[in-house]
Structure 1
Amino acid sequence: MDSTFPRVRKPKLGYNTTQVDGFLQLARRAYDGTASADDAPLTSDRIRLTAFAMQKGGYSTTHVDQALERLEDAFAAQERQVAARLHGGEAWLREARTTAQVVSNRLARPEGHRFDRVSPLVRGYSTRDVDRFADKLTRYFRDGWPISIEDVRTVVFKTQRGGYREAQVDLLLDAVVDVMLAVR
């Protein structure tokens, strides 16, 4: 299979080409319904959480990440269609509204207290950065202010000692992406 991804120059690190190509083959089989019995199930959530090892001269991380985002979108649309056929479109939207309400409740907490904090000896996400982005998300959910799914997927926070627990913030961002994909 010839790759459509550019490679980084040899001394630089990019994604492991064998892992990326293998994952894309698995995704193609899963999407077109030709997955084998020993293929692991593939969902939009699993695509979002996929990670590859790094290698010198590997695939450009930017190009692969963009392809994974498009793949996640395609799988989410397919999952939405299946759920709508099985349970009705209203059930799918009801679940998205429930998730949006859980996210909104978390975002409504006071600044500096929206997420658990790590020990003062450990680095976590900057509370100021996260709270600033949380305010943008609040305006998105409450007032319909524009924010793109790309903004949520690519947000980067500085770190600080005693900051917010990264795993908790990342889970909330994943939930926001789920809601945004559901209402597309």
Structure 2
Amino acid sequence: MNATFPRTRKPRLGYDTTEVEEFLQVARRAYDGTARPDDPPLTSERIRLTAFAMQKGGYSTAHVDAALERLEDAFAAQERQVAARLHGNEAWLREARTTAQVISNRLARPQGQRFDRVNPLVLGYSTREVDRFADKLTRYFRDGWPVSLDDVRTVVFKTQRGGYRESQVDLVLDAVVDVMLAVR
């Protein structure tokens, strides 16, 4: 039997093959417009937030993650087409510009104060690393400096006690991805 993705060697962990296959079936039906009534609604954002359990000998995480990114791109393009038909391209772009301005305002805050901090006894994202990446994003929005979708999707921050609240940083990064997909 052919697998959809390469598998990890048995002692190593990969994504649960059954979960991945079931998700891909739902995604295929959603994209084709043949979703079943019991299928969960699927959007580019939901694809970005999808997570799978791990299993020994599961699907290669790198291969599945790359496929999910392509799937997210395809759904985002489809969502943009639908929104443009319903509301016009200008409305879609206006919403993207509004979101970009909210992000820019957040990133314009002073270093060390761009996001809420967690308790000094709790681990959060490294403020120095997040601020450094935030400066790159500021230059992207303000000056058009090159930052790729892949840069945003794959950024990883070290942790530190009393660092930035991870969920807040992740939400802003998701919003950046949304804007980047909208203006493609």
| TM exceeding 0.5 | yes
Equivalent position amino acid for 2:144 in 1: G
* Structure-1 residue corresponding to 2:29: 29
- 1:6·1:60 contact (CA, 8 Å) conserved in 2? yes
State the alpha-carbon separation in 2 of the partners of residues 53 and 172 from structure 1. 25
* Structure-1 residue corresponding to 2:175: 175
Which consecutive unaligned segments of at least 5 residues does structure 1 have? none
* Structure-2 residue corresponding to 1:71: 71
* Structure-1 residue corresponding to 2:160: 160
State the alpha-carbon separation in 2 of the partners of residues 165 and 34 from structure 1. 39
* Structure 1 residue 112 corresponds to structure 2 residue 82: no
State the shift of 1:171 in Å: 0.1
- Identity over the aligned pairs, expressed in percent? 85
* Structure-2 residue corresponding to 1:83: 83
- SS in structure 1 of the partner of residue 173 of structure 2: helix
Equivalent position amino acid for 2:95 in 1: E
* Structure 1 residue 19 corresponds to structure 2 residue 22: no
Map Cα deviations across residues 33-82 of structure 1 (whole Å, 9 max, x no partner).
Answer: 11111111100000000000000000000000000000000000000000
State the shift of 1:94 in Å: 0.4
User: What's the TM-score once normalised by structure 2's chain length?
Assistant: 0.99
* Structure-2 residue corresponding to 1:136: 136
Which consecutive unaligned segments of at least 5 residues does structure 2 have? none
State the alpha-carbon separation in 1 of the partners of residues 167 and 84 from structure 2. 31
Equivalent position amino acid for 2:110 in 1: P
Aligned-residue RMSD, C-alpha: 0.8
State the alpha-carbon separation in 2 of the partners of residues 13 and 117 from structure 1. 33
User: What's the TM-score once normalised by structure 1's chain length?
Assistant: 0.99
* Structure-2 residue corresponding to 1:42: 42
State the shift of 1:4 in Å: 2.5
Map Cα deviations across residues 11-43 of structure 1 (whole Å, 9 max, x no partner).
Answer: 000000000000000000000011111111100
State the alpha-carbon separation in 2 of the partners of residues 3 and 89 from structure 1. 40
* Structure-2 residue corresponding to 1:146: 146
State the alpha-carbon separation in 1 of the partners of residues 137 and 164 from structure 2. 17
